[in-house]
Amino acid sequence: MLVQTPDGLRGTRGCFHGNALPTFNNKLQSAPNPALCSASTTMTSEKPSTPTNEDLPPIKPEEENGCFLMNSHISQIPGLSPTLKALSDDRVRGRRAGILATDSEYIKLAKQGGHKGLLWHTEASSLSSRHSYKAPDWFSPADKGNGNISLITSEHKRSPRAFQRREPPFGSDNMSAWERDDSSASTESQNNNLPDGETDKLPNQTLERSKFRRIVFDKKPAPVNMSTLLSFGYDYIKEPVHVKNPYLSTMEEDILYHFSLGTKTHDLPQMFGDIKFVCVGGSANRMKAFAQFIHHELSLPGNPNDIQDICEGTDRYCMYKVGPVLSISHGMGVPSISIMLHELIKLLHHAQCRDVVLFRLGTSGGVGKKLESSSGTVVITDKAVDYSFQPKFEQVVLGKVITRSTELDEGVSNELLQYSTEIPNLPTVIGNTMCTHDFYEGQGRLDGALCSFSHEEKLEYLRKAYDAGVRNIEMESTVFAAMCRVCGLKAAVICVTLLNRFEGDQISSPHDVLVEYQQRPQILVSYFIKKRLGLIA
């Protein structure tokens, strides 16, 4: 609290100095019993004035009419120090007006009406010297010559673009690529986000197209950063590829003979450590075409025709690496794909790959009716079943039959089925896939070199297969599903039907039609990969 003193404004803290307060207390102890300072009389209706320092000059301490008077300054608070001898009878009359020697300093000041003008101040007293400051750049535009702040005028409000210090490094015409191309010859479409008349006021800017305009159909897109590409939902997953062979850890070198690769001759983690998707198919040419297709779909740098076969040292299989995708051929039948899968899983293990999804892309014979029976239908495998329609794979090991489950990852299958609805002209169903060990007799064909059954027996067998949920027939799905399941790999089988087996055995569609059919599983899987990588919403 500030109070007015002869020396100016001062605080109330530390108002007693030295021994002033103890001396005052000692004097109070020696003072006689207090009494009213004057005889009681009837108070007049005239409002008394508040006493000040000038009205009450200090006198020596004495006793008069039972009042204790003093001239020593007991406080720096105005009104507490002066004597009360000059008070009029009207002022000191009454219980509340009379000031007693036993009253505290605060009560004495309160009975005097407080300090006159304590809270009063003038406008000039609250002003202090003004200090200039440097306004930030974002506050308002300033004149760089003299540093003066220029106020925002109505003209500036009508032209908010005049306040933009820098131009964005991209086009800002709020137009689509097609609208921009159609209006390239028109000068009125440029800078169409400016108010009327503002284009004439922009210095050194013409209505020509921005040099930063995005080229939509760029034949040579910028290289893709694979670390950024793979960060969409995959960095946090730490699921390694397992092998079920305790002897591999004791080997000094593991030679992947059919791939022409080895753990000592090749740096497998550096070559394949970023693999997230593996796509396998029977034909070498088909898998090379898929590698070129996925190269284009992922907009990777380089020419797709220049990709090299990693397994060129052998004529067993072909292998192409395209970003996080590995495309491999596996030949025909269970034995051929079984050999490839053994070395592929070991390759992924040695390369320390994590959370890999495997796809088998192939062709098949359809087993169904209506949409399911038409050629070109894509079948996503729910379960891979054997000749008896059971989801199992039997492997003979050292003269003993080992049975393994052939159930595939349900989440991947459902995800593929959902994505198929987002792709036009892609008829897709989900069902069981029957795997046989032969293309002719094993699948009930009547056009092979050998045939030991009738046409009616064939149709009866196909009807049983259809009732068991089978929608297509091929020759690799059971071993593919069984080995992936044992090693903890997510896998899916996607095959297109080339004919309906209820209607015939031979494939008679034109070559160009068959090529288009074979591309349908590739289109679906590429859509899945782009979804997983966050390249499409």
Which residues are known binding-site members? 316, 360-363, 443, 445
Distance CA 359, CA 34 (A): 109
- Beta carbons within 8 Å of 263's beta carbon, 6+ residues apart: 253, 254, 255, 350
Binding site for phosphate, by residue number, is 316, 360-363
Torsion of the alpha carbons at 153, 156, 162 and 164, rounded to the nearest 10: 80
Q: Is 457 helix (H, G, I), strand (E, B) or coil?
A: helix
The percent of the chain in helix, strand and coil, each rounded to the nearest 5, is: 30, 15, 55
Binding site for substrate, by residue number, is 443, 445
Distance CA 41, CA 43 (A): 6
Burial code of 332-359, b = ≥16 C-beta within 10 A, e = fewer?
ebbebbbbbbebbbbbbbbbebbbbbbb
CA distances from 388 to 196, 394, 407 (A): 78, 12, 15
The full DSSP string for 379-411 is EEEEEEE-TTS-SEEEEEETTEEEEEE-BPPHH
Distance CA 285, CA 320 (A): 11
* DSSP 8-state symbol, 114: S
Residues paired with 321 in a beta bridge: 326
Q: Is 359 helix (H, G, I), strand (E, B) or coil?
A: strand
